[in-house]
Copies of this chain bind each other. A is one copy, B any other.
């Protein structure tokens, strides 16, 4: 049984790493701090900050990628439009699990959804003079705001905490009505809160996207991981909910990182609605000589950014998507392990006096998944995270994710074994006794 580190030790290590506020540290600083405190503690930290896949990579992908390597694929530039087999499999996958019709030609691979959202942000900022602002539903993935900052794209954001259900309409409309919002970005299920927007909320977003001609960028990094419903059967309801049911103004980002535990190979897809893909924008024609959004996105934006995505990884993703469509690869079952872990970890937190911050979708308690949010009475992020660090627990402060609430993001991917759970419980008990 460990003892809490002294405040003095913590502050000294923070000073050594140039960290003024632990709740505002970068992930990299946070990881370095945990590593150096571990050596004082004499035991590994309970790492709740790391959002990496905690499962093995899909073997179907690995086998297909190895075959592509043996076939000499590395010598050939990938088509910037993407491997036909990948585009076709993705089109079928979107039908099978999201119940939407997207033509293969409207789907293009990207170097992770990061490259997708980065280039969509940039492209959307250039479509219509005056429409220059991105809107982000928060809490969200801080990297998306970094992208806008790097690119110099104007952006706004709001915390969804107070605006669930019908309240979302008025809030969104207050931004959309300015005429400056070109696109709205959110993830569903959501990183970091695991909020899953309800069908009512998605309908509101879709209706307003139509009314104000805003493009909706829907990040499906955690597709089919709302385990309250069994979304595992291809071509069978229920399906992954999507804003695509309510508007044609959508672009979906679909990453291999979490659904197939294939994060290392940096491959994802961007899928444009068929009509939006072909929509002409005068500003694109003037600047690039290509008026159609889809064509310009691929041949100007993605071409300039990296001239395509790893050729062999495209074969891997094609095989995994096809396996899922054919029912030979049950990816939902594989990732449901995260739901199992989340249930255990949430119970440990609640038992020790914590509450779930973002706790409901409409009437339903939030799902168990990759992330959840936890607060401790009215303790602010900095106080909470310092106390947790002294007890050997590292996490991410909600303030860094655009939340206005106090608390931390807990990621369950690095908690794998009963020993991990036992250790976390012991430390949270220690925390509750001392703070």
Q: Which residues of A contact B (CB under 8 A)?
A: 26, 28, 52-53, 55-57, 61-62, 65-66, 69-70, 72-78, 111-112, 114-115, 118, 122, 143, 146-147, 149-152, 257, 261-266, 287-289, 299-301, 303-313, 316
Contacts and interface: CB of A to CB of B under 8 A. Distances in A.
Nearest to A114: B307
Given A299-B26, A310-B310, A263 B74 contact: yes
Contacts of A118: 304-306
Contacts of A287: 149
A335 to B, nearest CB: 12
Given A111-B266, A266-B309, A304-B114, A70 B75 contact: no
Contact of A52 (B76, B115, B289): B76
Give the copy number.
2
Nearest to A288: B149
A76 B52 CA distance: 7
B266 A75 contact: no
Given A264-B73, A264-B312, A266-B308, A122 B143 contact: no
A189 to B, nearest CB: 19
Contacts of A143: 303-304, 307
A257 B288 CA distance: 26
B114 A305 contact: yes
Contact of A75 (B26, B147, B261): B261
The 4 A-B pairs with the shortest beta carbon distances in the complex, nearest first, are A264-B311, A57-B74, A111-B306, A57-B75
Contacts of A306: 111-112, 114-115, 118, 266, 305-306
A19 B144 CA distance: 38
26 contacts: A26-B299, A52-B77, A57-B73, A62-B72, A62-B74, A65-B69, A65-B74, A65-B312, A73-B264, A75-B262, A76-B264, A77-B257, A111-B115, A111-B309, A112-B306, A114-B306, A122-B151, A149-B287, A150-B301, A151-B151, A264-B310, A266-B307, A305-B306, A306-B306, A312-B312, A312-B313
Nearest to A295: B28
A304 to B, nearest CB: 5
Contacts of A115: 111, 305-306
A352 B112 CA distance: 49
Nearest to A263: B77
Nearest to A287: B149
Contact of A266 (B70, B78, B122, B149): B78
Contacts of A300: 146, 150
Contacts of A69: 62, 65-66, 69
Residue in A56, A149, A150, A303 whose Cβ sees the most chain B Cβ within 10 Å: A150
A109 to B, nearest CB: 11
